[in-house]
Chain A
Amino acid sequence: MSDVVEKTLTALPSLLLSVDSQPGSAKLSTSSKLGSLIRNITELTSKHEEEKLIQRELSSIKDQVSSPNTTMRQMKELMVRAIYCEMLGYDSSFTYIHAIKLAQQGSVLEKRVGYLAVSLFLNEHHELLLLLVNTVLKDLQSTNLIEVCMALTVVSQIFPKDMIPAILPLVEEKLNHPKEIIRRKAVLALYKFHLIAPNQVQHIHNKFRKALCDKDPGVMGASLHIYLHLIQENPEGYKDLTTSFVTILKQVVGGKLPMDFNYHSVPAPWIQIQLLQILSLLGKNDPGTSEIMHEILEESLRRAEMNHNITYAILYECVKCIYTIHPKSDLLEKAAKCIGNFVLSSKINLKYLGLKALTYVVQQDPKLALQHQMTIIECLEHPDLIIKREFSQLLMLLHVLMIFPINNNTYAPDNEWFIQTMNAVFSLGGETMQPDITNSFLKLLSEGFDSVEEDRKLKVFAVNSYVSLLEGEPEKLPQRFLQVISWVLGEFSHLQQDVGAETVVCLLDKLLHMKNSTSETKTWVLMAMTKVCEGAACAPLVQSVCETYSSSLDTVLRQRAQELQHLSRDPALRARVLPPVCTREPLEVPVDSSLSFLDEFVSEALAAGAAPYKPSHQRQEELAQTKGVSTVCLMFVCLMLFLTRADVCVSQLSSSLKLEGVKRVWGRGGYEAAQVETPSPPQEGGDPSISHTPPLTSEDTESKQQEQQLASSMFLGLDHSSVTLVTHTHTHTHTHTHTHTHTHTRTRTREYGTMWLSFSNDTKQNLTLVHSENEGPLRATLNVLTEDLHLHVVEIIGMEAIVACRLLQDQPCLMHCRVHGDALAVWLRSPVPELPDCLIYHCQRALQGH
């Protein structure tokens, strides 16, 4: 015998005395019956044999329970065996009634087994449960505390809803019982009643308050369950208790509870956790209430420094609370540090919770995630799927946050991080990812950075990373990711001189041969091939691909294959249709952005009786009708909208950077391509290059806050003014324009910030600057816009300006203007999808006139 055991055995003689093995032969035989059953079962190998054995066992139990000679004591053993069979999933419903009988008639110990069996076998709606009510009633009135305890225990587990009134007074009475264990169980029983029949216990809510003030922490802790539930349902109703909860937490944290409630020297940790949960519910969106708890939260953070699991549990709850209640900056700082410790911890559970907390926190403070970017990247490699998933959710969130700020380089500190992160998102997010995430990623990638060098690096890095992914095991990548890869390789692989066109074509070809590639993916691949195929080296492969897919059943694939075939044979045509991306000198394609060359066609068509263009969904119409705009006007808007969109499309084509542009050209069976092939005269007075909106620079970031402050003021005004914008046109419609200017008030910064971020529909465009002798070009241009379109200029800061307008109630559109070269770069956002496009169109029209 080892030392350890010897020591244990000598250390625990008293324990061994209390072992319930006893010389009674009856007990041994029954326990060995259960024992042999269990042993037999563990020896079995097949489910079938187990079934046979249990059926035998059940029939033997059945015989014995119904025999009149079976004593209560034997019944108790039989019941344990029945519980075992039931646990394995075998029906032993014939014992249910005997379980109730055992609870009714047995001695204390037998009763206990009976109650246990009842609580395990029956559910709330079981009819046999009614038979238990009398037993419970009797036991609640018993002088034996153990019986009272058992009755309360079973009540808090299972009790028929309709019979609550029968025992409610007895249970209520127990709230004043001298024994704390009885009081505690009574509180829990009442909680159970509250859960299943809230109306029945409404009148005793003040007794809950008494339980909360109970001198025994166990009773108080039990009452917290009730309050947590009540406050979840109605936080407003319990604000007055905030101080009480704070005081209780203070006492617990301060070690005022009996030592019995210490766990690893932490005072009553589960009570602390629960109190923190309650506080976060109370303090949510309530600065006043939050104020009361700041001190104790700080104290909790400070105290919970000991390095044990349970202190981390408290810390985590504390951090959650701090981020839920009305924020206080220095507390947030401490909480953020705390999250850092979690994320950086080598303990996997803490890392998981840290990531979880980050997911929660980045919504308020994306910078925090940046501090931990290395850890986040490391998690990529983590073998634990759960960590990976948590992490991918975090990335999804980050992505949403990135869409806005990536342009000004604030949140994506370097290219590698961005690409790796997005690779992870795509690999993990897989097919469940929303298509617009893919689209906006591609958009971000193609727009790139301000600096040409940076921009090139980003793209080259992406290409390298994707080439290596394809060289690895592309079968494992989700379809959507493959589509992204195809597109990026198609667009940018020429930037990376080390990778030849034929290599890329080979890699792409591999994707075509993969079994699980969908035809959508294949379409992307073929399009990418069309862009890449160059030189004789690719020709044979391209030829065979064309041959395979020219006869495909899928018409889209067939179309792409045809395109590939024709364009690969005619480099001149390809260069015109798909001009190579040249980041240094943006390609200048003269574009008539107003599509005036179509006007004739449109008016002819209209004159010939054609209906004005209507989008398939009639949203605008409904929208306008509810808002009371005339349908005539609306149709015009729709038409213009269509035209505006088409011209955006063409303009995008000019740089061949934007996904949407490229897709459009090939999406309509040559229709747009025809437009390109017949170049229209340059737009009058316009900037012919229609280059991309320059990404915002760092000074922009600095001024952003200022902007937001200013811009917020305009919303105060705009809420009351009604600037009708869409209806204002020179020739086509007659509508009412009413404008009220309001004095600027420097408030509602927060609302504005969220507003800008919450507007999902944005458009960027370059407008022509108006030059005037008296004023600078920015002011002159804005004057034109305010005059013609009644836009509302909020503020002009140097070369930038913030403008806003509103189409009817609740449909604002924000515009950020910035002088860039000799164009005005505007960035519009609005909750209404059509509004930015529409506004752009009108701006162009207005400026053209000058």
Chain B
Amino acid sequence: MIKAILIFNNHGKPRLIRFYQYFPEDMQQQIIRETFHLVSKRDDNVCNFLEGGSLIGGSDYKLIYRHYATLYFVFCVDSSESELGILDLIQVMIYFLVYLLFQVFVETLDKCFENVCELDLIFHMDKVHYILQEVVMGGMVLETNMNEIVAQVELQNRMEKSEGGLSAAPARAVSAVKNMNLPEIPRNINIGDINIKVPSLSPF
């Protein structure tokens, strides 16, 4: 079972936090700090697993994380979870974030933010949470039918648009997303100062 998903940046600033087990507020902050402390010490070329945080669950508790661009994606899980399985789940999550990022891309083109993906994550925090709810529900990893999630995100966007008075997105938008294949996302997107590094899709 997943106990918490923590996303924070290189300085330990939380960017998205979701706990699946109840901890008091101050404890949550302590867990974030401890986790950041544990994870940030590690080089990028060491393994993506950590054991022995003291705050959640003791020995029956491990951290599985990925460092991508300026962000750390950390899953706190109990011993029953498959390490490699979670690692790929993070990959899936990042994939959806990148997908969100594409959506925001136009908005940010003319504004020069230092780190696009990181701030975009907060701008669309609620949307990231909705995606997360589909991939991990109540701390359980759901078999992710990627197309279904993409379709859901689409549906929600359509709803927002129709609420905003716009006509529904063309059907081909949905099909374009559905057919979007992971390896087709470019590895690097460079525009002026902005450099977005799309996460490597073959994870090793």
Taking CB atoms, residues of chain B closer than 8 Å to A264 are: 182
How many Å lie between the Cα of A1 and that of B194 in the bound state?
11
Residues of B1-55 contacting chain A, CB below 8 A: 13-14, 16-18, 20, 22, 25-26, 28-29, 42-43, 45-51
Given contacts A8-B189, A277-B80, A313-B85, contact A42 B103 (CB under 8 A): no
Taking CB atoms, residues of chain A closer than 8 Å to B138 are: 156-157, 188, 191-192
Which among A5, A125, A312, A383 is the interface contact of B189 at CB below 8 angstroms? Answer: A5
Taking CB atoms, residues of chain B closer than 8 Å to A308 are: 202
Q: Is the CB of A21 within 8 A of B84?
A: no
Nearest A residue to B160 by beta-carbon distance?
A20
Which among B84, B103, B175, B186 is the interface contact of A313 at CB below 8 angstroms? Answer: B84
Taking CB atoms, residues of chain B closer than 8 Å to A629 are: none
Kindly provide the distance from the CB of B24 to the nearest chain A CB, expressed in whole angstroms. Answer: 9
Q: Is the CB of B88 within 8 A of A17?
A: no
How many Å lie between the Cα of A156 and that of B20 in the bound state?
11
Given contacts A87-B14, A221-B143, contact A31 B119 (CB under 8 A): no
Given contacts A116-B129, A260-B145, A348-B47, contact A27 B203 (CB under 8 A): no
Q: Mark B132-160, 1 if CB is under 8 A from A, else 0.
A: 01000110111111111000001111111
Given contacts A12-B176, A317-B82, A349-B48, contact A83 B125 (CB under 8 A): yes
Interface residues of chain B, those whose CB is within 8 Å of chain A, are 13-14, 16-18, 20, 22, 25-26, 28-29, 42-43, 45-51, 80, 82-85, 87-89, 91-92, 102-107, 114, 119, 122-123, 125-126, 129-130, 133, 137-138, 140-148, 154-161, 163-166, 169-170, 172-173, 175-177, 182, 184-191, 202-204
Q: Is the CB of B84 within 8 A of A310?
A: yes
Q: Is the CB of B204 within 8 A of A347?
A: yes
Which among A7, A89, A112 is the interface contact of B28 at CB below 8 angstroms? Answer: A89
The yes or no answer to A225 lying at the interface (CB within 8 A) is yes
Taking CB atoms, residues of chain B closer than 8 Å to A221 are: 142-143
Q: Is the CB of B147 within 8 A of A260?
A: yes
Q: Is the CB of B82 within 8 A of A273?
A: yes
Kindly provide the distance from the CB of A272 to the nearest chain B CB, expressed in whole angstroms. Answer: 9
Which among B102, B148, B156, B163 is the interface contact of A260 at CB below 8 angstroms? Answer: B148
Q: Is the CB of B173 within 8 A of A309?
A: no
Q: Is the CB of A18 within 8 A of B103?
A: yes
Q: Is the CB of B107 within 8 A of A19?
A: yes
Q: Is the CB of A20 within 8 A of B103?
A: yes
Taking CB atoms, residues of chain A closer than 8 Å to B166 are: 22
The yes or no answer to A799 lying at the interface (CB within 8 A) is no
Q: Is the CB of B88 within 8 A of A310?
A: yes
Given contacts A218-B143, A218-B145, contact A38 B123 (CB under 8 A): yes
Nearest A residue to B188 by beta-carbon distance?
A4
Taking CB atoms, residues of chain B closer than 8 Å to A389 are: 51
How many Å lie between the Cα of A349 and that of B133 in the bound state?
27
Which among B91, B145, B177 is the interface contact of A14 at CB below 8 angstroms? Answer: B177
Given contacts A87-B14, A308-B202, contact A386 B119 (CB under 8 A): no
The yes or no answer to A387 lying at the interface (CB within 8 A) is yes
Nearest A residue to B122 by beta-carbon distance?
A38
Kindly provide the distance from the CB of A191 to the nearest chain B CB, expressed in whole angstroms. Answer: 7
Q: Is the CB of A123 within 8 A of B22?
A: yes
Nearest A residue to B62 by beta-carbon distance?
A386
How many Å lie between the Cα of A758 and that of B47 in the bound state?
35
The 5 listed contacts between A and B (C-beta, < 8 Å) are: A17-B170, A218-B145, A317-B82, A349-B204, A387-B46
Q: Mark A71-86, 1 if CB is under 8 A from B, else 0.
A: 0000000001001101
Taking CB atoms, residues of chain B closer than 8 Å to A156 are: 137-138
Nearest A residue to B17 by beta-carbon distance?
A87
Q: Is the CB of A14 within 8 A of B172?
A: yes
Which among A83, A124, A386 is the interface contact of B46 at CB below 8 angstroms? Answer: A386
Q: Is the CB of A89 within 8 A of B25?
A: yes
How many Å lie between the Cα of A193 and that of B24 in the bound state?
22
The yes or no answer to A352 lying at the interface (CB within 8 A) is yes
Q: Is the CB of B83 within 8 A of A309?
A: no
Given contacts A15-B173, A156-B137, contact A349 B145 (CB under 8 A): no
Taking CB atoms, residues of chain A closer than 8 Å to B114 are: 42
Q: Mark A213-249, 1 if CB is under 8 A from B, else 0.
A: 0000110011001001000000000000000000000
How many Å lie between the Cα of A80 and that of B124 in the bound state?
9
Kindly provide the distance from the CB of B45 to the nearest chain A CB, expressed in whole angstroms. Answer: 7
The yes or no answer to A490 lying at the interface (CB within 8 A) is no
How many Å lie between the Cα of A468 and that of B203 in the bound state?
41
Nearest A residue to B138 by beta-carbon distance?
A156
How many Å lie between the Cα of A95 and that of B114 in the bound state?
31
- Of residues A181, A351, A386, which shows the largest number of chain B Cβ atoms within 10 Å of its Cβ? A386
Q: Is the CB of A313 within 8 A of B46?
A: no
Kindly provide the distance from the CB of A69 to the nearest chain B CB, expressed in whole angstroms. Answer: 20
How many Å lie between the Cα of A24 and that of B166 in the bound state?
10
Q: Which 5 A-B pairs have the closest CB atoms?
A: A313-B84, A14-B173, A384-B46, A221-B143, A14-B176
Q: Is the CB of B146 within 8 A of A87?
A: no
Residues of A114-130 contacting chain B, CB below 8 A: 116, 120, 123-125
Taking CB atoms, residues of chain B closer than 8 Å to A83 are: 125-126
The yes or no answer to A34 lying at the interface (CB within 8 A) is yes
Kindly provide the distance from the CB of A756 to the nearest chain B CB, expressed in whole angstroms. Answer: 31
How many Å lie between the Cα of A219 and that of B102 in the bound state?
31
How many Å lie between the Cα of A228 and that of B129 in the bound state?
26
Q: Is the CB of B142 within 8 A of A263?
A: no
The yes or no answer to A261 lying at the interface (CB within 8 A) is yes
How many Å lie between the Cα of A277 and that of B159 in the bound state?
40
Kindly provide the distance from the CB of B17 to the nearest chain A CB, expressed in whole angstroms. Answer: 5
How many Å lie between the Cα of A21 and that of B127 in the bound state?
13
Q: Is the CB of B189 within 8 A of A87?
A: no
How many Å lie between the Cα of A39 and that of B16 in the bound state?
16
Q: Is the CB of A188 within 8 A of B88?
A: no
Knowing that A15-B173, A261-B145 are A-B contacts, what are 5 other residue pairs whose CB atoms are under 8 Å apart, sorted by A's residue number? A14-B175, A20-B161, A120-B129, A217-B143, A270-B144
Given contacts A24-B164, A313-B84, contact A271 B28 (CB under 8 A): no
Kindly provide the distance from the CB of A229 to the nearest chain B CB, expressed in whole angstroms. Answer: 9
